[in-house]
Amino acid sequence: MTQTNRLDGGLIDRSTPLSFTFDGRTYGGFAGDTLASALVANGVRLVGRSFKYHRPRGIISAGSEEPNGLVELRAGARREPNSRATMTELHDGLVATSQNRFPSLRFDLMAVNDRFSAFLGAGFYYKTFMWPRAFWERVYEPIIRRAAGLGSLSGAPDPDVYDRGFRHCDLLVIGAGPAGLMAALTAGRAGAEVILADEDFRPGGRLLQERIAVGGDSGAVWADAVIAELASMPNVRVMPRSTVIGVFDHGIYGVLERTGDHLQTPAEGKPRQVMWRVYARRALLCAGATERLIGFADNDRPGIMQAGAVRGYVNRFAAAPAEQVAIFTNNDDGHRTAGDLAAAGVDVTAIIDSRPDAPASDVAELFAGAVVTGTSGRLGLGGVSLRLADGGHKHIHCGALAVSGGWNPNVHLTCHHRGRPVWQDDIAAFIPGEGVPPGLAVAGAARGIFSTAGALADGAAQAVAQLDEIGIRAPASKLPDSEDAGFAISPLWHVPGKKRAWLDQQNDVTVKDVKLAHQENFRAVEHLKRYTTLGMAGDQGRTSNVLGLAVMAELTGRSIAETGTTIYRPPYSPTPIAAFAGRSVGREFRPTRLTPSHHWAAEQGAVFVEAGSWLRAQWFPREGETTWRESVDREVLATRASVGVCDVSTLGKIDIQGGDAGAFLDLVYSNTFSTLPVGKTRYGLMLREDGMVMDDGTTARLGETHYLMTTTTANAVGVYRHLEFVRQCLRPDMDVQLISATDSWAQFAVAGPNARLVLQQIVDPQHDLANDAFPFMACADISVCGGVPARLFRISFSGELAYEIAVPSRYGDAMIRALMEAGEPFDITPYGTEALGVMRIEKGHVTGNELNGTITARNLGMARMVSSKKDSIGAVLAGREALVAEDGLCLVGLRALDGGQVMAGSHLFDAAGPVDAAHDRGYVTSAAYSPHIGASIGLGFLVRGAERHGEVIRAMNPLEGRSAQVEICSPHFIDPEGERLRD
């Protein structure tokens, strides 16, 4: 439990000690630590194994750019692989495990890969695993799949809740370092709506990691004061633990807030993470810069870190990377690290500065013009070898090496709309160039202004400029004093040598790999990236990209500016898919619509089926019924014998009003509706522009200028959209108004010979239901049960005497109960969608199965419904030559012989002859067992079907290995004359 490398001071809360485990061993830390800083404080250098060669690896950075310190967090279903230790806020009881090693981190058998590195260079998989061909799938692929990847998923559903959200602001400030804090302060004081998002749990950015004074205080004290002032402003929202992952269209930013990651388990119902969609009128990128390393032989040993990260661990977390630390730098930043280490009492064994004119140092021995040529140590750094300015060699003992190769501005978000960064020679780095997303500006180190004073001033100035664009005048804030040092760098990308020098530690890409890419002519940056995998994976190459293309530039002899850079896309940091899904998971993946009789049906023990977003009763099992067929047969027979009731509220209902409503319907339906008398209902066929049938249904004329259209359940939305298109785009001159009435009405089909007798007990007595007074296809506004408004339609899907009665939805539950009560003397039977389907097949009514998008009115035997007396959508193209050919498909009924079964999806073949595509005569669209016929029946489309009634053919289903002898017949299995429904 001793934190051997813990120093004094720092921004940790020593009054809150925390305990955590790494690879099963318990360690101590403090509130304010990250997992990485706690491991550093405990002297744990080895934290993982590399992707390809399984090299021992340690923590490199103190931020989200970390390529090596990847662990599995938590256990069980909450296990999360590839979590960056540097971004993991320490909490009591945290469980972390190393990954990509077997059997243990210290002894990893897969490290044998490192011995065969000569065969595993860039693109090795393009050249190996080629022969023999038979090995591709059976041998090579399983091996590669087993070896690939880093961490592993738990395989169990994530038990945590994730959320989404939406926020609006005038100015989104991305990053809470000196530039971001000053920008937020300036905008906040001006009264603008401000969101300040920072990926750290404590705002302040580099100010927390440096010993630089701001306004006379330490940077951390100044940052705390600014945050306190911002927190007091109602117009400012500070969002710590929030990463801006992407810039999308129209000023929309994705922000992942980690609301519960720092807790052992989020409280019940509280989200672990929230994915915010931020609508920002303007945004300011203050994302700072990332320090890069230098390539030299074996530069990936645990203990080799960014110099700036070393300062961060020492200053912010009071954790020394080792007792003895050496510095390797090509710029002044390394000297700052040496000063901070010395101030904290850490032994700085050497400053190796590649610049011959390196500034003198009073804290450690300086080797100017020297470079590191190699390192030693097995599972951690033991020392480094130098080549001195005079060509001599030297070995220096150290447990850590702080490396500074210069700083890369974090330009990533500026590239999300294909912006191209441009090279700036004096800082040897890419800065934002052309194509920055509209509304986004960049301030501070993110655009190459590296001094603290410069960043503070730039943040304030950019905020003023951004707000000015949207008409908000922000007075200039008084800037606090701070350091304003220049930035002197002499680029050094890698130290040439024979051994491997790592550029991208997450993907195991070395200088040799870049040389190989060059040799094989993959020289363009995009080719280099794909060939070597440089800059891919979770860190998006933040520490490696520039190194790789600088090496390529050296090889090609072109400048880095000419070589260019690859660009970045969202997300900026790895983002769980769960956060994108939010609460739209499991049963609540999408909304569910319930019918007005749902609760009643559930009480009856109904079995429900999803129909679009609706839940409908499929059948109502009764005690003693062991199969669904028993229930469905009973429901069908009872309905045909006496009376049944079914909730049909799901059918789309569209209220159509206006002086041109009739003409409008004449246009959208192939048959005529303008002549329909008030109080009547008509079946309508709606075609697409290409002449295929789109939907069918009945439309009632409720008044001179008022119609009510019914659509199929499945097409309710599509038909409404189509009508709106016709109204708004094709005929804006027409006086037509549309509104959906689907949810307004609870509608029940009451079908069977006793339907009228049941309804007569419900319908108020002034409404005469006698056949003459209210004949087939009549409709009326009526009242029921003593004055409740209702609509009655005499239409039939089942082929029986039938009505559909509609009441306002609030009465729906009461209505089904009333119908059941009124129907009790007639053994009224509720039926579900299965019985509904059986009865409509028996009657030969078509539905979505038949209206499959390839079927014309002529195929349905309804060619005469396409009126030639008027123009209607689809009428012209329905007359295309091929669509009116004599040998077209024709709707037929099919009856299985000898107890066989008709299966939907079967194809139809002549009684004898081959079964192949060339002899296909049609197909079966719907099938059911008809208790009325006592056989399996179906509907289908058959070439010249109308002429073939009485023939026996074969219905074949090779997929299921089934076939049946079927007799072709009329699609109307019951009451073909339609006498029952007119009775």
Partner 1 sequence: MISLETTTALGNKAPYDETIGGLRITEIAAPVLASLAMRRGKAAGFKRAAANIFAGGLPAPGTSSGDADRRVIWMGPDQYLVEGMTGTELGAAFGAHAAVTDQGDAWAGFEISGADCVAMLERLSSADSRRMTAGSATRTPMHHMHCVLVCRKTGEAFTVYGPRSAAQSLHHALTAAAASL
Residues that bind partner 1 (CB under 8 A): 161, 163-168, 193, 269-271, 274, 277, 279, 583-584, 588, 590-595, 598-599, 613-614, 649, 655, 657-660, 733-737, 739-745, 761-762, 784-786, 788, 807-815, 818, 821-822
Which residue, 325, 381, 382, 377, is CA-closest to 351? Answer: 325
* Beta carbon of residue 497, minimum distance to partner 1 (angstroms, whole number): 55
C-beta of 146 vs 590, nearer to partner 1: 590
C-beta of 154 vs 761, nearer to partner 1: 761
C-beta of 313 vs 664, nearer to partner 1: 664
Strand duo 788-793 + 217-218: pairing: unpaired
In DSSP terms, 197 is beta-bridged to 174, 239
Distances 192 to 173, 471, 472, 640 between C-alpha atoms, Å: 12, 10, 7, 71
C-beta of 807 vs 891, nearer to partner 1: 807
Contact between 435 and 416 (Cβ < 8 Å) = no
| Paired tokens of 139 | 């041998």
* Beta carbon of residue 247, minimum distance to partner 1 (angstroms, whole number): 17
* Beta carbon of residue 544, minimum distance to partner 1 (angstroms, whole number): 38
C-beta of 193 vs 508, nearer to partner 1: 193
Contact between 114 and 55 (Cβ < 8 Å) = yes
* Beta carbon of residue 227, minimum distance to partner 1 (angstroms, whole number): 20
- Residues 6+ positions from 535 with CB-CB distance below 8 Å: 504, 507, 529, 541, 544, 545, 548, 566
Please provide the DSSP assignment of 435-446 as one string. Answer: TPPTTEEE-GGG
C-beta of 779 vs 878, nearer to partner 1: 779
Distances 979 to 463, 793, 974 between C-alpha atoms, Å: 80, 18, 10
Q: How many residues does the chain have?
A: 983
C-beta of 359 vs 659, nearer to partner 1: 659
Contact between 848 and 696 (Cβ < 8 Å) = no
Residue 96 has φ and ψ, to the nearest 5°, of -130, 145
Query: 575: exposed, middle or buried (C-beta count within 10 Å: 0-12, 13-18, 19+)?
Result: middle
Contact between 887 and 881 (Cβ < 8 Å) = no
C-beta of 70 vs 280, nearer to partner 1: 280
Report the distance separating Cα 595 and Cα 751, nearest Å: 19
* Beta carbon of residue 491, minimum distance to partner 1 (angstroms, whole number): 46
Report the distance separating Cα 293 and Cα 404, nearest Å: 6
Question: Helix or strand or coil: residue 547?
Answer: helix
Report the distance separating Cα 510 and Cα 228, nearest Å: 46
C-beta of 814 vs 943, nearer to partner 1: 814
Strand duo 593-594 + 614-619: pairing: parallel
* Beta carbon of residue 809, minimum distance to partner 1 (angstroms, whole number): 4
* Beta carbon of residue 808, minimum distance to partner 1 (angstroms, whole number): 4
* Beta carbon of residue 239, minimum distance to partner 1 (angstroms, whole number): 12
C-beta of 813 vs 967, nearer to partner 1: 813
* Beta carbon of residue 193, minimum distance to partner 1 (angstroms, whole number): 8
Contact between 457 and 479 (Cβ < 8 Å) = yes
Query: 809: exposed, middle or buried (C-beta count within 10 Å: 0-12, 13-18, 19+)?
Result: middle
Question: Helix or strand or coil: residue 886?
Answer: coil
C-beta of 568 vs 720, nearer to partner 1: 720
C-beta of 613 vs 675, nearer to partner 1: 613
Report the distance separating Cα 220 and Cα 210, nearest Å: 9
Distances 866 to 74, 280, 499, 928 between C-alpha atoms, Å: 66, 53, 81, 30
* Terminal Cα-to-Cα distance of the chain (whole angstroms): 91
Contact between 750 and 980 (Cβ < 8 Å) = no
C-beta of 369 vs 582, nearer to partner 1: 582
- Residues 6+ positions from 152 with CB-CB distance below 8 Å: 72, 81, 99
* Beta carbon of residue 192, minimum distance to partner 1 (angstroms, whole number): 13
C-beta of 781 vs 920, nearer to partner 1: 781
Give the Cβ contact number of residue 118 at 10 Å.
8
Report the distance separating Cα 530 and Cα 627, nearest Å: 58
In the block, which residue shows the tokens 């810039």? 247
Report the distance separating Cα 870 and Cα 502, nearest Å: 77
Question: Helix or strand or coil: residue 121?
Answer: coil
* Beta carbon of residue 590, minimum distance to partner 1 (angstroms, whole number): 5
* Beta carbon of residue 746, minimum distance to partner 1 (angstroms, whole number): 8
C-beta of 705 vs 867, nearer to partner 1: 705
* Beta carbon of residue 274, minimum distance to partner 1 (angstroms, whole number): 8
* Beta carbon of residue 536, minimum distance to partner 1 (angstroms, whole number): 33
C-beta of 354 vs 649, nearer to partner 1: 649
| Paired tokens of 713 | 């359940």
* Beta carbon of residue 196, minimum distance to partner 1 (angstroms, whole number): 16
Distances 149 to 58, 81, 152, 437 between C-alpha atoms, Å: 18, 10, 8, 33
* Beta carbon of residue 802, minimum distance to partner 1 (angstroms, whole number): 21
The DSSP symbol for 348 reads E
